[in-house]
Amino acid sequence: MFLSETDFVICDVETTGYSAGAHRMTEICMLKLRKGILVDSFESLINPQQYISPEITRLTGITNSLVHNAPVFPSIAEEVGKFLEGSVFVAHNASFDWGFVNEELMRGGVQRLSNNVLCTVRLARRLVPGQASYSLGKLTASLGIPLRRHHRARGDCEATADLFRLLLERAEETYDVSECEDLLALQRMQRTVRPLTKKARTMQEQIQEFPDSPGVYYFRNAHDDILYIGKAANLRTRVRSYFHPAAQSVRKIRTLLRRSTSVTYEPMETELHALLREAKLIRHHQPEFNSAMRRKKLFPFLRLGIENDFPRIEVTTEIANDGAEYYGPFRTFGTAELVLDIINRLFKLRKCPDDLRPRKDFSPCFYYDIHRCEAPCAKEQTQKEYLAETERVRQFLSSNRDNVIRQIETVMHQHAERLEFEEATYLRDRMDELRLIFEKPLRIDTAVTQQHYVFAMQDEYAKGKYVFFFVRNGQLRKTLHERAKESLRDILEKEIGEVFSQEDLNELSQEASREMRIVAGWVRQHREEGLLVPVQPEAPAEECAGSIYLSLTKGDLFPA
């Protein structure tokens, strides 16, 4: 089964001790991911019906009084079993969580589960080698993954979900893993040496002539048919990795090498150009070994469906030509989901996925009961009132950091005045995280289709010089490599004037949509390495050119 067709349930449990037979669970959280997106969740405190020691309380913060009125596990056992049905069970040190879940299920009268199990510790040892520690806290800190409320089920589960997404990307990028079977095998993979065939040795010799620069590469068969297309920041290093014993342990790569007779390449200007070229070539040739559903660094966006009479907001990985507005990309799915959750708490947009057809006799869902929606479905709210709420969401997403924080503080104080301390505490705890999200370059202050900027970074292949990417309406319009003996400031002014004086796009094609996602994701991935300067198309070109030039000459981001 393809990874894109597989449900993964990320799980974390807190317990009274370390033995699944002797001890009991005090808390469980499960997050169901499909195509990397959170589609469902389950969490609950649990009354373990046994004493929680002071040592466990110091570690988790879970006290005997906290779980006193919580449900006992047998009362939720059937619901937990159904949630896990048909999915791959994922956890950090999975044998611990899997053991407790199955022991509790059997005690609750539910048959032992037979799900496939994936351990992020074992997978990380394979894909992120050389770490001093593979504990969740130290590994996520090393990889820049936020970990909120460590040793509580929800906090650890969200961090594990982000870690799993990162590991999944690395498995696909490094070993071309596209099927669940190969991903499961990867965590158990032994680095056994397999002798290369004569054809493989011939291809290895071809690779020695490949450059250490960006490009796309092609594996071909004896009839010169293209079997596989890939991209690389370093062609020689990337293609050589296919012949490593570990890579050949993946069934797909082993089969690809057996059927290939040659490997060729096409040099590209930059890694970003290679990404864009690869995507276009795959759509055109549809090679057998390029899975149609293969992920390519899927950075999440928020989609605001303003094309609907009653817009919804949701997390997505695609930008479509559908009239909606897309905000992002976010660095991780957890970050996107955090902003979505904040919006759902601050504003009252509907959560139901159906096409809304309001009628008086309709029964509102529980979001109406908890004051998270004004029930336009039951005509408790007019379309005009609903669209006004939608506009407030757009203004929130378009605000700068200080305005966003002020809005949250206002709502936080309102909750406190109404003695709704849980909501007030939640918003208070999220403000520091949001400050970080909204202060970064390429922050979510405009819809992707309205993003105009110049991104500058050091040219890896011309030391001491820079490469400039001119992006208008979210699409790459021009690339400029700094040239010697010319006035950089004058060149920038000329190019900015030409690129940003073009007319806006009238219609967003599917091709342009794909390019926007690729460009935005790549810039998000490399934003710490460069300088991003927003451009107002109506502003003088010399103003923007001067801003870029001044930042470069300061040497803050580009030290000598």
Residue 58: band (very low, low, confident or very high) from pLDDT cuts 50, 70, 90: very high
Q: What is the pLDDT of residue 189?
A: 65
Q: What is the pLDDT of residue 441?
A: 41
Strand bridging mode 25-34 / 117-119: unpaired
pLDDT above 60 (res 192): no
Domain spans, the chain: 3-186, 198-285, 301-439, 451-554
- E strand or H helix at 9: strand 7-15
Rounded mean pLDDT, 420-435:
73
Handedness of CA 204, 208, 213, 217 (dihedral sign): negative
Q: Residue 313: beta bridge partners?
A: 304
Please tell me the least confidently modeled range out of 73-82, 153-162, 356-365, 537-546: 537-546
Classify domain 198-285 at the CATH superfamily level: GIY-YIG endonuclease (3.40.1440.10)
What span, in angstroms and rounded, lies between the C-alpha atoms of 459 and 79?
54
What span, in angstroms and rounded, lies between the C-alpha atoms of 509 and 470?
20
Q: What is the pLDDT of residue 537?
A: 78
Residue 103: band (very low, low, confident or very high) from pLDDT cuts 50, 70, 90: very high
How far lies 102's CA from each of 32, 98, 113, in Å? 18, 6, 7
How far lies 353's CA from each of 4, 39, 357, in Å? 21, 12, 12
Q: Which of 306, 341, 308 is nearest to 326 (CA)?
A: 306
Q: What are phi and psi of 64, to 5 degrees?
A: -60, -40
Q: Which of 313, 347, 308, 338 is nearest to 327 (CA)?
A: 313
Residue 42: band (very low, low, confident or very high) from pLDDT cuts 50, 70, 90: very high
pLDDT above 60 (res 443): no
- As given in the structure block, the two tokens for residue 368 are 């109406």
- Whether 151 is a known active-site residue: answer yes
* Residue scoring higher pLDDT (211 or 543): 211
Residue 139: band (very low, low, confident or very high) from pLDDT cuts 50, 70, 90: very high
Q: What is the pLDDT of residue 400?
A: 59
* Residue scoring higher pLDDT (3 or 557): 3
pLDDT above 50 (res 421): yes
Q: Which of 216, 203, 288, 217 is nearest to 252 (CA)?
A: 288
- Most confident by average pLDDT, 87-96, 180-189, 296-305, 503-512: 87-96
What is the tens place of the pLDDT at every residue in 283-328?
889 898 886 444 455 678 889 988 888 999 998 887 777 888 888 7
What span, in angstroms and rounded, lies between the C-alpha atoms of 250 and 175?
7
- Most confident by average pLDDT, 141-155, 214-228, 323-337, 463-477: 214-228
35, 4 contact by CB (below 8 A): yes
What span, in angstroms and rounded, lies between the C-alpha atoms of 551 and 483?
18
- E strand or H helix at 303: strand 301-304
Catalytic residue among 92, 151, 273, 452: 151
**For residue 329, cis peptide bond before it (omega within 30 degrees of 0):** yes
What is the tens place of the pLDDT at every residue in 7-17?
999 999 999 99
516, 319 contact by CB (below 8 A): yes
- E strand or H helix at 186: helix 180-186
pLDDT above 60 (res 193): no
Rounded mean pLDDT, 93-104:
96
User: How does DSSP classify residue 20?
Assistant: T
Fold of the 3-186 domain = Nucleotidyltransferase; domain 5 (3.30.420)
Rounded mean pLDDT, 335-354:
84
Q: What is the pLDDT of residue 261?
A: 92
- As given in the structure block, the two tokens for residue 491 are 């060149």
Q: What is the pLDDT of residue 446?
A: 58
DSSP string, 99-129: HHHHHHHHHTT-PPP---EEEHHHHHHHHST
Contacts of 432 (CB under 8 A, 6+ apart): none
Q: What is the pLDDT of residue 135?
A: 96
- As given in the structure block, the two tokens for residue 437 are 């999200």
Residue 436: band (very low, low, confident or very high) from pLDDT cuts 50, 70, 90: low
* Residue scoring higher pLDDT (223 or 473): 223
pLDDT above 60 (res 484): no
